[in-house]
Structure 1
Amino acid sequence: MKIIYSSHIGKFLDILKVSSVCIWTLIAFSCDFLDVVPDNVQTIEHAFSNSTEAEKYLFSCYSRLPSNASENGNVGFFGADEAWLPEDLDERVVNKDAWSIAKGYQNINRPYHSAWNSDRSANGYFIGLRLCNTFLENIQNESIVRDLELDRRSRWIGEALFLKAYYHYLLLRMYGPIPLIDKNIPVYASPEGVRVKRVPVDECVDYIAKLLDQAYEKLPASISRPTTELGRVTKTIALAAKAKLYLLAASPLFNGNSDYSNFRNKDGELLVNTEYDATKWERAVIAIRAAIDAAEEDGAKLFYFENTSQISMTDESITKMSIRNAICDPWNKEIVWGNSNSRADRIQQICMAALRDDYSYDAYFAQMAAPLKMVEKFYTKNGVPITEDKYLAQNYIQYETLRTATQDESINIQPNEQTARLHFDREPRFYADLAFDRSAWLMYDIPSKSDKEPYWVKCRLGELGAGVIQGRYSATGYFVKKLVNWESTFTQSSQRKVYPWPEIRLADLYLMYAEALNEWKNVPDDDVYYYIDEVRKRAGLKGVVESWTDYSTNPSKPTTKDGMREIIQRERCIELAFEGHRFWDLRRWKTANSELNQPIEGWDISQKEPRAYYQKRTLYMQEFIAPRDYLWPIPEKDLRVNTDLVQNPGWQ
């Protein structure tokens, strides 16, 4: 099986592979993951003996970035309610760590996806911090690595400062108040010296922002050598990370959250400020605006697909390809930060359905299944929720009702075939992101060379798309098309076009800005509408005000802060669907306790006839316990080692 990688990933990834192997030889562990520096002096001296070796160590610092393109590394894929897996899942393909969080199995003895101690599919961010600190301690000393020019030294320091800030941010997002690892604790420290305590959230935010500001001054404005350096951080990426930090700090989880009124260190210090502070939204607005300006100045723009293929496409298909390729087209202009250390390879297999009978069983798994609740989130073709559309809402009351597709609907649904009413008259993102029984799936290798005769998904009992191998099928009847590069193939000689994971893209920043502006202002204005409307325009929809005025049963909804908040949150859910953002958004908005206490539902995939197949069935009843489940538990054994640490609320 051949895998095609983008040529831009090149040397950077090769060095990362070597560097990752070296990490464990560079780190000496004691009983606590927070307490020591690497003490193998000969190894450290070799690592900083010249600029070539020092650069390898820098790439080791990068190696702890989250594996967000990985089905196991991105907790957002299966940790919330965006996607579900088969109960007879073969864990050799996808393990159940993140999914166990979605099913309410998180625990304090050995937490799932524990970045605190690099366990159960999680990268160890404290390990990353130790690597960054060791790198900075050596590279900031100009008597070390004597062959390193000043400009490169300055840039490397900026990169390490950024990574140090970002690992702190990732820990903050997961655990709330965290210890700040400004310097590595030496091996000769006293027992008291290694018992670090947690720092209040506001202080954590200020510390991370300061590091990002320091990094910004030293980072390049853009990548000048794209063949070897794409994925390394720039000034724009530092600004975008700061924007995400301030948005998190302004959001309800950490801004005026009364649930944490008794969340204190053992000395009585309050760890989350429970007083709402509106100025945090203003700070977020300024930071996000700076990130957008820098990104656009560097050439970033929303991705629009240009059809240079031999396949004939309608305008609607081109719109859908714009949506899909904003993710899958390597290094396109919308990607503000592509993570070269995490490449979308196996996740394509896990999303892919059987479209041809010559597909290899080892090339596709079809396991990433969208629940019905996510299907319902997408708008109608009029750009409003299915329950609000004054022309179409009645059609969706009994959306299991069958309808036969016409020839005019062939770019979305197979003509003369029956499928659920829920699948008709939906927005382009619905058809771009999802596939379902009798839906179209456009790929580069379609024999017809026309979008009017694409591949058709057929997944009722006994059909090709239903799967024949245990645990390799869609549990709900829906497939995630969005993450599959349309140029990949899945036959015996399959060639997957692998792309770097889009860690931050411009559409995300636009929606962040609309959210922060809406929260900061008393009522939404043209700036709020503009940035959400730009995203909707690329998706083939009219602007918010026009859509709600013309089509919604609640036309005044966009004119109020509360109404726009609901619209913006739904827009993020749709635009960023299946990328892992929803998991974190539901937490920072404090809406997870309502969204994740609902049933996971799908179609009755065990049926052959359409009327039997299109019956709702409950796969699982989720349970989210608030406020406990908003933050990760610190592993119990680490609390016993460091008695100055306190556990997160609800996990005691």
Structure 2
Amino acid sequence: MNPADIAGNQVSRNSVDEVVAFISSECDAAAAGLPLSYSETPEELGRITKGAALALKARTLLYAASPLFNGNPLYANVKNSDGKALFNTTYDKEKWKKAADAAKAVIDLGVYKLYSPSPENPVNNYAQLFYTREYNETILPYTFGDNNTFESNYLPNGQPYKGNGKMSVTQEMVDAYETATGYPITDPASGYTTAGSWNGQMWDGLKQANVTNISNMYKNRDPRFYASIFFQYSVWRTAVITRPVKLAWFGANGGNLSDGWPKNGTNCESGYNWRKWCSPNVDRNANTGNAARNYPIIRLAEMYLNYAEAMNEYLAAPDASVYAAINTVRKRVSMPDLPIITTDAGKDGMRKRIQNERRVEFAFENHRFWDVRRWLIAKTVDNGPVHGLNARPTQAELESTGLPTTSEAAGVAVFYKVVILQNRVFKDNHYLMPIPQSEIDRDPNLVQNYGW
């Protein structure tokens, strides 16, 4: 290659603000030429719409307004060789207003609505979104053929369920779900307790089913909890699978009767499995049925919560529009309206509420990874021990119960102890990924991100 051609391709980095402006302008230009929907040409469903382009713009502007990119002094010295600063270290409140306006523009299109197929059943009302091919709430879907891959991967790995239990859920995630009162479990008014157990009914994916000996840890929680997580003695398709989920240690030969961690080739370590995404229309025992689902890359609930977050940050204190946006999402699962506790009336308190609402509403949808980074809280929440339940007790623990050590009762007796699963490390340089050295070798004008 001619050296002059090489030099022409060696460009310097644009600033974050320039990149955001470019993405926004491209989304606007695309939106201008795209249809609102493909309702008249159903064979085109899944293609990019006006709403998808505007929703991508809204997400971009929200990220740009967030602390990672808006006034973050950490990146003050990340500059091109000519001295051009790539990160604006001056906080600009108006970026939040732009993000709020962009989210509201999507909402105001009037072509999307929260999916609500079973409003009388808040657990099912939420759960169906994730195993149904729907285009009412989903703004930007990833479409793929009917399949039972999710069920194969995520259902518990015990014999009746015939999944692989590949995803663990941390205790921190479980604890993020409020009780049905709307109070966080750390608030005495929530009614939360870890003592004792209860009997009653629980949605098994197809109908209400009787359950027994459920820990009070899981009593009266946000309906999204029951739609999203398998826990000890929860139930699934009880017309066929007649016993509950058993994630506690149980059985000889490494706990071989447990539905949890002990199975070779599986990954459940925490005493919790994913339930979200699993379709009750799939029968793994009979090896029949498929789910016709989309993966919602962007959905309307995000636009409501984007608007709530952006306006809360823009205003001195949350106003009626902030509460209305977040409560629209909460109403789908019959959760009480905010404000509830005194701190909900202030910016800081409402920020915590909105951040937690995103955590539970978008659980296992690939939002949390990016949210904790753009909020600059990853060094707090992803740095240190993460926890689960005692699904793999020691022999000494089992013996201390005085029960047969291979019995279900012995495993359950020591199961509800919270234990450390991992010790994670998150440093300041982890907020942004490094530019690969191979790219810098090709283009020496590219400056490396902070700390790499």
TM-score (norm 1): 0.62
2:200 counterpart residue number: 407
User: Residue 372 of structure 1: which of 160, 171, 191 is its match?
Assistant: 171
Once the two structures are TM-superposed, the CA of residue 225 in structure 1 deviates from its matched residue by: 4.9
Q: How many residues align?
A: 427
1:287 counterpart residue number: 102
Whichever residue aligns with residue 527 of structure 1, its letter is S
What is the aligned-residue identity percentage? 33
Distance in 2, Cα, partners of 1:615 & 1:576: 27
User: Residue 203 of structure 1: which of 8, 13, 18 is its match?
Assistant: 18
Alignment check: 8 A CA contact 2:144 2:293 kept: no
User: Residue 293 of structure 2: which of 499, 503, 528 is its match?
Assistant: 499
Is 2:222 the partner of 1:427?
yes
Alignment check: 8 A CA contact 2:157 2:263 kept: no
CA displacement 1:75-123 (0-9 Å, x = unmatched): xxxxxxxxxxxxxxxxxxxxxxxxxxxxxxxxxxxxxxxxxxxxxxxxx
Once the two structures are TM-superposed, the CA of residue 277 in structure 1 deviates from its matched residue by: 0.4
Alignment check: 8 A CA contact 2:184 2:190 kept: no
Whichever residue aligns with residue 603 of structure 1, its letter is L
2:398 counterpart residue number: none
Distance in 1, Cα, partners of 2:140 & 2:352: 27
User: Residue 434 of structure 2: which of 628, 633, 639 is its match?
Assistant: 633
Alignment check: 8 A CA contact 1:324 1:482 kept: yes
Once the two structures are TM-superposed, the CA of residue 570 in structure 1 deviates from its matched residue by: 0.7
1:381 counterpart residue number: 180
Q: How does 1:445-594 map to 2 (within 5 A)?
A: 446-447=238-239, 456-460=244-248, 461-462=250-251, 463-466=257-260, 469-491=263-285, 493-545=287-339, 548=340, 555-594=341-380
1:302 counterpart residue number: 114
2:125 counterpart residue number: 322
Q: 1:514 to 1:582 in 2, by over 3 A?
A: same
2:448 is paired with a residue whose SS is: coil
Q: How does 1:58-73 map to 2 (within 5 A)?
A: none
Once the two structures are TM-superposed, the CA of residue 385 in structure 1 deviates from its matched residue by: 0.6
1:64 counterpart residue number: none
Whichever residue aligns with residue 385 of structure 1, its letter is P
1:503 is paired with a residue whose SS is: strand
Distance in 2, Cα, partners of 1:293 & 1:618: 46
1:350 counterpart residue number: 153
Alignment check: 8 A CA contact 2:37 2:49 kept: yes
Alignment check: 8 A CA contact 2:261 2:392 kept: no
User: Residue 644 of structure 1: which of 431, 445, 451 is its match?
Assistant: 445
Computed over aligned residues only, the root mean square deviation of the Cα atoms, in angstroms, reads: 2.4
Is 2:79 the partner of 1:239?
no
Q: 1:410 to 1:636 in 2, by over 3 A?
A: closer
1:265 counterpart residue number: 80
Distance in 2, Cα, partners of 1:199 & 1:274: 15
Instruction: In structure 1, list runs of 5 or more residues that go unmatched.
Output: 1-29, 31-186, 308-314, 549-554
Alignment check: 8 A CA contact 2:96 2:311 kept: yes
Once the two structures are TM-superposed, the CA of residue 598 in structure 1 deviates from its matched residue by: 2.9
Once the two structures are TM-superposed, the CA of residue 493 in structure 1 deviates from its matched residue by: 2.4
1:130 counterpart residue number: none
CA displacement 1:323-364 (0-9 Å, x = unmatched): 11122211241111112269885343221114653x55xxx2
Once the two structures are TM-superposed, the CA of residue 488 in structure 1 deviates from its matched residue by: 2.0
2:187 is paired with a residue whose SS is: coil
Alignment check: 8 A CA contact 1:599 1:618 kept: yes
CA displacement 1:23-74 (0-9 Å, x = unmatched): xxxxxxx9xxxxxxxxxxxxxxxxxxxxxxxxxxxxxxxxxxxxxxxxxxxx
Is 2:147 the partner of 1:339?
no
1:600 counterpart residue number: 386
Once the two structures are TM-superposed, the CA of residue 235 in structure 1 deviates from its matched residue by: 0.8
2:400 counterpart residue number: none
Whichever residue aligns with residue 456 of structure 1, its letter is P
CA displacement 1:512-550 (0-9 Å, x = unmatched): 1111111111111111001111111111111012xx2xx
Distance in 1, Cα, partners of 2:164 & 2:84: 50
1:246 is paired with a residue whose SS is: helix
2:142 is paired with a residue whose SS is: strand
1:617 is paired with a residue whose SS is: strand
2:397 counterpart residue number: none
Q: 1:347 to 1:195 in 2, by over 3 A?
A: farther
Once the two structures are TM-superposed, the CA of residue 466 in structure 1 deviates from its matched residue by: 3.1
Distance in 2, Cα, partners of 1:580 & 1:345: 20
Distance in 1, Cα, partners of 2:143 & 2:122: 27
1:71 counterpart residue number: none
Once the two structures are TM-superposed, the CA of residue 415 in structure 1 deviates from its matched residue by: 3.7
Whichever residue aligns with residue 466 of structure 1, its letter is G
Whichever residue aligns with residue 199 of structure 2, its letter is T
CA displacement 1:388-438 (0-9 Å, x = unmatched): 142525x2xxx3x4x232235687896442x44322221211111111111
CA displacement 1:469-522 (0-9 Å, x = unmatched): 413152101011111122222235233314221111111111111111111111
Q: How does 1:132-281 map to 2 (within 5 A)?
A: 190-281=5-96
Q: 1:321 to 1:410 in 2, by over 3 A?
A: closer
Alignment check: 8 A CA contact 1:195 1:644 kept: yes
Distance in 2, Cα, partners of 1:255 & 1:495: 48
CA displacement 1:415-467 (0-9 Å, x = unmatched): 442x44322221211111111111123x4xx427xxxx976212232335236
Alignment check: 8 A CA contact 2:114 2:137 kept: yes
Once the two structures are TM-superposed, the CA of residue 585 in structure 1 deviates from its matched residue by: 0.6
2:399 counterpart residue number: none
Distance in 2, Cα, partners of 1:528 & 1:262: 36
Whichever residue aligns with residue 207 of structure 1, its letter is F
Alignment check: 8 A CA contact 1:344 1:501 kept: no
Distance in 1, Cα, partners of 2:3 & 2:27: 30
2:5 is paired with a residue whose SS is: coil
Once the two structures are TM-superposed, the CA of residue 639 in structure 1 deviates from its matched residue by: 1.2
Q: 1:338 to 1:345 in 2, by over 3 A?
A: farther
Alignment check: 8 A CA contact 1:380 1:389 kept: no
Q: 1:432 to 1:557 in 2, by over 3 A?
A: same
Whichever residue aligns with residue 319 of structure 2, its letter is D
TM-score (norm 2): 0.88
Distance in 2, Cα, partners of 1:190 & 1:230: 43
The worse-fitting range, judged by mean Cα deviation, of 497-506 and 364-373 is 497-506
